[in-house]
Structure 1
Amino acid sequence: MDSEQFKKVLQSGSKEDKIIALESLSNSTNGEILQSIISIFDDEDIELRGEAFSTLLLNDNDISEVLLANLKSKSKNIRGYCALVLANRNDRVAVSEIIQLTEDSSAMVRSCAVGALGFLRAVEATSAIQKCLDDPNLEVKKSAIKSAIDIGDKSLLMRLENLTHDGDPEISSLLVIARNNL
């Protein structure tokens, strides 16, 4: 399928047609097609966003350049999901760019970015993760706690000792895990 055909499916195809098209493009190196797949991160349908994520994740080609470029997208969904795709592809080239996203204006992007850093076990991101521990957004804070646990940095884990659970059972559970890793 070429990029024009894919764009037509995205514009006027049924959900099933879009999913079939995405599945057929999991090894594309065509920049236009990759960009169209990434644009699906802004779709209202969570299933389509998930299919786009899977398509990019399963792509065996080096698509890092396209994903990295989209970390600067105007769309918060594209910035956040591209950070997660890069992390799930274990693309360590993206670490410094993802660190910058921990200061994004969107809490969703900050949460995705700090989570991606933990998934990548990016010890060089310790200070960014530490800042996110103080984020006013609960989801960002949860992602930062999980990342601190994933990285296993003792100074971060000790920092967690001073955090309160804010009445959130998930934070309480994560703090128990962190204490057990000290």
Structure 2
Amino acid sequence: MLMQEYHFNLLRNIDIILITLTALLSVIIIIYASIDERYMRKRYNKLTNIISDLQKLEFQGNDAIVSDCSILIKKTTPFELFHILKHQENIQPGKFSEQFTECLNNSGKISAIEKIAENSRNKWRRIEAIIILGYFKSPNTIQILKQTLSNKDSDIVYFSLISLGHIKNLESAEILLSAIKNRIFSSFKIAAILEHFPPDIVEILINNLTDQDQNLRLWSIKIISRFKPKQYAHKISVLTDDTSPDIRAAACECLGEIAEESTKEAVKKCLKDRIWYVRLHATRALENILGPKSIADIAPLLKDIHWFVRENVKDIMIKHFSEAIIFINKFLNENDQSVKQSCIEIMDISGYRDKVLENIVKGDSETIKKAQLQLETMIKAGAHHGLEGILSKYSDNTRERILSIISAIDKGKADHIAKKLKGKIKEI
């Protein structure tokens, strides 16, 4: 009995302690949130006041602008300076632009930031400084960021790349492309940064297409796709003969984006490439270049051994169905059941079989005659599967009329469709 009472009291005391600790922790969280909110409000209020004071300087004389601005900038924290530089275009409109840059230099703040970016042992202070340099674009910025790219810390390298991306000039583009070549960071992420650069970098990218480094050639062609430079279409088409299938595929993709008809032969050649994804990109590119005229070259790939290629060809044939129907009829008369099934899917998605039956029901004599020939081609080729679904929307008399036409072509198939309509069988 005493042991039970002891355990009961022990558990009760533990509950009291836990409740007390929970309440205390809740109070601490509330106090912290309140203090943090006040601190952030104070921080942003100060920043707003600094920006307001800087905007007022535009209406003063040149000497006053530089001296007063320098005093204001000296008082800023790195956080405040970052936001000032980030929104610099709103703060220093018109004639104030040159004075504002001089003010930043005279304040000594930028040189202090440069030293932090180069030498600080505090990782996050250093990263903050690196980000600021990307917005200021001082004469020393490029060299400092080039140096920080060789840092062992991946976060410092990443934010150095981001800052170079803010600068957006030819020199920063060269450094970023060199980073791709040297594989110091994810090539995909660096390429994503370069895609937002101005078109001026295209010439550098074109020169890289002959570089010995495969990774640099690959990502250069991918970035070029973003700019679609028609004047370089021929130079890009040379890469359809590259030893790397990734580069051949990327070259096709790029030529598709440019859509220059003079490159069609280079793309057509890739339709027979031994690598499936090169053929895939070649079909897409040729369709972009030639539109409906591409069907004659693309349709045979409906027999491709790779599913992705076949599906892509199906999509293109659906898009340009009028041009594709001649090839569909040809494939339906062959013995490849897989290709026949693909043709049936293309016809259904395109609404072709619905249209044929609709023409038989509502067309004039010439239209009906043509539709009956089209129906005969489908039935003889085995493209009758699923017709019961289309027939079910018609009245009994109309269904019987269509079934009699099918029966004249192939009685067994007509009987099979009739049984499926009545629910006597579900499949062949």
Task: Give RMSD over aligned pairs.
Answer: 2.1
- Give the distance between the partners of 1:152 and 1:15, measured in 2 at CA: 45
Tell me which residue corresponds to 2:164: 25
What secondary structure does 1:135 align onto? coil
Shift of 1:176: 0.5
Alpha-carbon distance change, 92 to 165 in structure 1, aligned in 2, over 3 angstroms:
same
Alpha-carbon distance change, 170 to 40 in structure 1, aligned in 2, over 3 angstroms:
farther
2:175 to 36, 44, 47: 36
Instruction: Map Cα deviations across residues 22-52 of structure 1 (whole Å, 9 max, x no partner).
Output: 2222243243x3222113334275xx21221
Preserved contact between residue 126 and residue 156 of structure 1 (Cα < 8 Å)? no
- Give the distance between the partners of 1:170 and 1:40, measured in 2 at CA: 33
Give the aligned length: 179
Residue 51, structure 1, aligned to residue 198, structure 2:
no
Preserved contact between residue 73 and residue 79 of structure 1 (Cα < 8 Å)? yes
Tell me which residue corresponds to 1:100: 238
Residue 88, structure 1, aligned to residue 226, structure 2:
yes
Preserved contact between residue 29 and residue 61 of structure 1 (Cα < 8 Å)? no
Instruction: Map Cα deviations across residues 26-80 of structure 1 (whole Å, 9 max, x no partner).
Output: 243243x3222113334275xx212211221101251122111111111112112
Residue 113, structure 1, aligned to residue 266, structure 2:
no
1:11 to 139, 150, 167: 150
Alpha-carbon distance change, 117 to 106 in structure 1, aligned in 2, over 3 angstroms:
same
- Give the distance between the partners of 2:194 and 2:248, measured in 1 at CA: 21
Shift of 1:173: 1.2
Tell me which residue corresponds to 1:140: 278
Tell me which residue corresponds to 2:296: 158
- Give the distance between the partners of 1:74 and 1:122, measured in 2 at CA: 27
Tell me which residue corresponds to 2:311: 173
Alpha-carbon distance change, 14 to 92 in structure 1, aligned in 2, over 3 angstroms:
farther
Letter in 2 for 1:21: S
Letter in 1 for 2:238: Q
Shift of 1:13: 4.3
Alpha-carbon distance change, 163 to 30 in structure 1, aligned in 2, over 3 angstroms:
closer
- The structure that has the greater radius of gyration is 2
What are structure 2's unaligned runs of at least 5 residues?
Answer: 1-132, 134-140, 324-428
Moved over 6 A (4+): none
Alpha-carbon distance change, 15 to 101 in structure 1, aligned in 2, over 3 angstroms:
same
Letter in 2 for 1:106: S
Alpha-carbon distance change, 128 to 8 in structure 1, aligned in 2, over 3 angstroms:
same
- Give the distance between the partners of 1:86 and 1:99, measured in 2 at CA: 12
Shift of 1:163: 1.9
Matches within 5 A, 1:52-71: 52-60=190-198, 62-71=200-209
- Give the distance between the partners of 1:144 and 1:106, measured in 2 at CA: 15
Tell me which residue corresponds to 1:131: 269
Provide the TM-score with structure 2 as the length reference: 0.39
Letter in 1 for 2:168: S
Shift of 1:170: 1.3
What secondary structure does 2:301 align onto? coil
Percent of paired sites with the same residue: 19
Residue 79, structure 1, aligned to residue 217, structure 2:
yes
Provide the TM-score with structure 1 as the length reference: 0.86
Preserved contact between residue 22 and residue 52 of structure 1 (Cα < 8 Å)? yes
Alpha-carbon distance change, 14 to 93 in structure 1, aligned in 2, over 3 angstroms:
farther
- Give the distance between the partners of 2:285 and 2:160, measured in 1 at CA: 35
